[in-house]
């Protein structure tokens, strides 16, 4: 069978596709972007497109699907959101002027990590991360293409790399080395990121400093090369890469951040019910992003923490000025992202007008802060760059009513360009000139119904009916003949027409050129715009924290670097209190003196142990990000890390049980924690057999006590552990108070010194609504177990109630059974031996 001949256009497609095998190739053909072969088949299914074929009548028709060019973005959005890459191949010349096949090439590759428009992320960052290593040392670099932020750090092991990627919520990771199968499995399956490869390191002294280590320069260079090769343009908004240290911030792994509901509610995945939701009273998109960063990376510098506190206090002391500040911030647009749009060459007139609106608000922001007359605001005020020259340029050049498109005119303000003004005079006055000429020729010729008309073929012309042809003046020349009329022109009419058409076309082209010139001049200010964006964001976050503190009656915590004591008087879990309402919430005090290292917490489920533990963790996070605290008084050390194990967490994706996850997280904590860390363990060991669980829980408590030295809250149901207070000098028992009256139990949600004497599990089951017959049976079983007489309580008789073995009339048989049970060495029986013994006892009965 003869092979179908490939057309030049399809050969061009195949040549381009060869360079982008891992991306959907959108191939511009006229008014459509077309997909072919496997791309078409897959995209048709994903995007619900009609799958057709090219060369339908050939032996091997080519699958084809397409989308209109004006709506392509919505289809790109879907593909990117599902984790695919999209390569955009544009027509590089006018098809009407092309000789042979129209020149086409890929102008941009959009990926989950480089998406700016596609993801429409709004206020959130979209970080692209890169990982590289030399020997056993790792480096991670990340940037946000929408804001230009660029960072790099060194990490000790792959677990730290995973924590950082998870914290960044990166959707794509560029690997600078060949990852192992196990590493790929974790990245793709557990973190659900797109993994790309990059082997080329580029040297860019403007962005990558010589002060970085060789590995940091290597990973940053590979990330930069990946960006340049996918975006295919010079990105002037990228900021010089900044080195940071993990130890410069309060360390929290991804599991801890999730369990504490810092950025999103772990149960719903939504913002509502998180610390971010509680603290977000920001007024700008830039402030919102910075608030997330502050929550994600609390400080460990006492000086920096206290500087934030001082500014918040200043805002609290100046209520009216702060209200004015809030109003001025409402007129601030996302200039950080506007700067990137300028760099990308995508900024439109409305973008520049938003930039000008923001710049016009800067003097008002500066004036409000100056009126507060506080030295703690001096640094912020000095960095508020008004950029009057840029503001003047935009306000003089861009019309306030300019449209978003840049090719249809009406962009440039009158008075900005003399030539453009002349064109506009012609366009504005041309209509009256035509009307005047029509009236003059009508009067001179005596043709009462003479009029000037226009169409695209003949342009402007005098319309003369057949009955008036004898009156046509000599200077008229014929342009067209119709059945009952003639169309004429004159030199004067032709001159007016030429002026008007030229003015219309030339003014549109001139406006386009003038706008590009203004945009290019704006590009010079990108670094200053980005710096201004950071300062406004910082002001916004600090006023937000002041508003939250005032509305919720929070207090300023006393953060002391070298103290070993924790004193929180009537502290509250900030998020739970907000959801419940202050009137319902029961506050708790938390006290660790210098000699106390571990609090062992006992008490029933649903009584408030987990809330108590999270209260301390959230208090630490809020305090070290500079926020005020829900309490009557707070004195805290500065922690270097928080490790948590709270709540069940089966890792179904990797096939790990709750117990395995517990042990892995416990190992992670005790190996990395220092004496300046905070550890929160809730019900550790419950995922295995009781004695195994008790043994492991005790060993972990002892190990932390003897080898780690971290402040620790350890909640447990194993009452056997309360005796540790007698052997461990730095451990104290606390419990959740209960009120028991007439068989009814009330949880007081108050933590008090000492150990709990009961677990009240059956009462919790009652609250949950289990049937009363079931609860009664549970009480009988519990009574039997607590008697220490039998290992298993027999089932109740169907006819005469439960067998009362030990109160039955004595007989030789019953004495033999009692003796057999009494002689059982329950603690040393294997499971099989226990079953055999039970079988023998049943036969005796």
Binding residues for ATP: 603-610
Binding residues: 603-610
What are the tokens at 315? 């805002």
Contacts of 74 (CB under 8 A, 6+ apart): none
Instruction: Please name which of 128, 121, 140 lies closest in space to residue 193, comparing C-alpha atoms.
Output: 128
Please give the Cα distance from 541 to 329 (Å, whole number).
11
Q: Is 135 helix (H, G, I), strand (E, B) or coil?
A: coil
The position carrying tokens 């009557």 is 632
Say if CB 282 and CB 288 are below 8 A apart. yes
Please give the Cα distance from 121 to 714 (Å, whole number).
40
Please give the Cα distance from 364 to 362 (Å, whole number).
5
- Return phi, psi of residue 139, to 5°: -130, 145
Say if CB 601 and CB 588 are below 8 A apart. no
Exposed (0-12), middle (13-18) or buried (19+): which is 558, by Cβ within 10 Å?
Answer: middle
Strands 194-197 and 598-602: unpaired
What are the tokens at 493? 């009419």
- Return phi, psi of residue 628, to 5°: -85, 165
Strands 641-645 and 251-252: parallel
Say if CB 243 and CB 153 are below 8 A apart. yes
Contacts of 814 (CB under 8 A, 6+ apart): 805, 808
Q: Could you please report the per-residue DSSP string of 279-346? A: H---SSHHHHHHHHHHHHS-B--HHHHHHHHHHHHHHHH-HHHHHHHHHHHTT---HHHHHHHHHHT-
Q: Is 653 helix (H, G, I), strand (E, B) or coil?
A: coil
Q: What strands, in cross-sheet order, belong to the sheet with 451-455?
A: 451-455, 459-465, 485-489, 477-481
Please give the Cα distance from 780 to 759 (Å, whole number).
16
User: Could you tell me which residues are beta bridge partners of residue 560?
Assistant: 637
Please give the Cα distance from 288 to 281 (Å, whole number).
8
Alpha-carbon distances, residue 668 vs 578, 614, 699 (angstroms) = 32, 19, 16
Q: How many CA atoms lie within 13 A of 583 on its CB side?
A: 0
Alpha-carbon distances, residue 741 vs 50, 100, 156, 747, 758 (angstroms) = 71, 94, 56, 12, 14
Say how many C-beta atoms besides its own lie within 10 A of residue 60's C-beta.
Answer: 9
Please give the Cα distance from 631 to 406 (Å, whole number).
55
Please give the Cα distance from 552 to 142 (Å, whole number).
36
Alpha-carbon distances, residue 252 vs 260, 557, 744 (angstroms) = 10, 21, 41
What are the tokens at 351? 């973008």
For the chain, what is the radius of gyration of the CA atoms?
38
Please give the Cα distance from 686 to 658 (Å, whole number).
9
Please give the Cα distance from 163 to 386 (Å, whole number).
39
Q: Helix 349-371 vs helix 526-552: angle between axes, to the nearest 10 degrees?
A: 50
Long-range contacts of 793-798 (CB under 8 A, 24+ apart): none
């Amino acid at each position: 069978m003869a092979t179908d001949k490939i057309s030049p256009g399809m050969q061009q497609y195949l040549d381009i596709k060869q360079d982008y095998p891992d991306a959907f190739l959108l191939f511009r053909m006229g008014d459509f972007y077309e997909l072919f072969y496997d791309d078409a088949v897959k995209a048709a299914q994903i995007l619900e497109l009609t799958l057709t074929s090219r060369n339908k009548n050939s032996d091997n028709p080519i699958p084809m699907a397409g989308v209109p060019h004006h709506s392509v973005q919505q289809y790109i959005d879907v593909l990117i959101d599902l984790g695919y890459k999209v390569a955009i191949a544009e027509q590089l010349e006018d098809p009407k002027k092309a000789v042979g096949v129209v020149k086409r090439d890929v102008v941009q590759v959009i990926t989950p990590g480089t998406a700016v428009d596609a993801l429409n992320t709004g206020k959130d960052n979209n970080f692209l991360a890169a990982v590289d290593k030399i020997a056993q040392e790792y480096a991670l670099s990340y940037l946000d293409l929408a804001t230009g932020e660029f960072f790099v750090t060194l990490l000790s092991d792959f677990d730290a790399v995973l924590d950082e990627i998870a914290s960044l919520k990166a959707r794509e990771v560029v690997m600078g080395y060949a990852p192992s199968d196990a590493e790929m499995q974790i990245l793709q399956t557990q973190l659900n990121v797109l993994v790309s490869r990059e082997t080329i390191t580029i040297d860019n002294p403007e962005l990558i400093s010589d002060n970085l280590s060789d590995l940091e320069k290597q990973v940053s260079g590979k990330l930069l090369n990946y960006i340049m090769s996918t975006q295919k343009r010079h990105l002037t908004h990228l900021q010089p890469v900044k080195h940071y240290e993990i130890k410069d911030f309060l360390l929290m792994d991804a599991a801890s951040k999730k369990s504490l509901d810092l950025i999103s509610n772990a149960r719903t995945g939504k913002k509502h019910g998180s610390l971010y939701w509680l603290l977000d009273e920001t007024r700008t998109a830039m402030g919102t992003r910075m608030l997330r960063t502050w929550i994600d990376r609390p400080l460990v510098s006492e000086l920096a923490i206290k500087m934030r506190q001082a500014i918040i206090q200043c805002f609290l002391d100046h209520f009216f000025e702060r209200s004015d500040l809030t109003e001025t911030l409402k007129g601030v647009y996302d200039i950080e992202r506007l700067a990137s749009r300028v760099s990308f060459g995508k900024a439109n007139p409305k973008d520049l007008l938003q930039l000008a609106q923001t710049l016009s608000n800067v003097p008002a922001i500066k004036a409000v802060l100056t009126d507060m007359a506080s030295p703690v605001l001096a640094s912020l005020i000095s960095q508020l760059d008004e950029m009057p020259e840029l503001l003047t340029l935009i306000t003089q050049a861009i019309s306030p009513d300019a449209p978003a498109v840049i090719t249809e005119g009406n962009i440039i303000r009158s008075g900005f360009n003399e030539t453009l003004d002349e064109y506009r005079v012609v366009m504005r006055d041309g209509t009256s000139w035509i009307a005047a000429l029509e009236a003059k020729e009508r009067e001179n010729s005596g043709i009462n119904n003479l009029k000037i008309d226009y169409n695209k073929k003949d342009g402007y012309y005098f319309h003369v009916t057949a009955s008036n042809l004898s009156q046509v003046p000599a200077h008229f020349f014929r342009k067209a003949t119709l059945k009952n009329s003639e169309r004429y022109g004159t030199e004067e009419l032709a001159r007016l027409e030429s002026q008007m058409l030229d003015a219309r076309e030339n003014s549109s082209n001139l406006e386009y050129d003038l706008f590009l010139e203004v945009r290019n001049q704006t590009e010079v200010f990108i670094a200053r715009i980005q710096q201004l964006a950071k300062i406004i964001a910082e002001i916004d976050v600090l006023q937000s924290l002041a508003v939250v503190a005032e509305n919720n009656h929070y207090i300023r915590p006393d953060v002391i670097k070298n103290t070993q004591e924790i004193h929180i008087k009537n502290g509250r879990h900030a998020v739970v209190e907000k959801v419940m309402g202050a009137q319902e919430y029961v506050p708790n005090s938390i006290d660790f003196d210098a000699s106390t290292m571990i609090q062992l917490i006992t008490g029933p489920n649903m009584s408030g142990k987990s809330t108590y533990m999270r209260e301390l963790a959230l208090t630490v996070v809020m305090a070290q990000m500079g926020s005020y605290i829900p309490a009557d008084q707070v004195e805290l050390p500065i922690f270097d890390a928080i490790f948590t194990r709270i709540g069940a967490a089966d890792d179904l994706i990797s096939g790990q049980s709750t117990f395995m996850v517990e042990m892995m997280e416990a190992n992670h904590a005790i190996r990395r924690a220092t004496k300046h860390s905070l550890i929160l363990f809730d019900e550790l060991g419950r995922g295995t057999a009781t004695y195994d669980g008790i043994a492991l829980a005790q060993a972990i408590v002892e190990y932390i006590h003897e080898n780690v030295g971290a402040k620790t809250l350890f909640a447990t149901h194993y009452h056997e552990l309360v005796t540790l207070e007698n052997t461990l000098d730095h451990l104290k028992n606390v419990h959740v108070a209960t009120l028991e009256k007439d068989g009814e139990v009330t949880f007081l949600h108050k933590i008090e010194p000492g150990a709990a004497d009961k677990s009240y599990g059956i009462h919790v089951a009652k609250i949950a609504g289990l049937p009363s017959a079931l609860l009664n049976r549970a009480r009988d079983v519990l009574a039997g177990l607590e008697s220490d007489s039998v290992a298993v309580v027999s089932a109740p008789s169907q006819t005469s109630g439960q067998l009362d073995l030990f109160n039955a009339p004595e007989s030789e048989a019953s004495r033999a059974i009692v003796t057999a049970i009494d002689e059982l060495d329950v603690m040393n029986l294997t499971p099989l031996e226990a079953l055999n013994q039970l079988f023998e006892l049943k036969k005796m009965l």
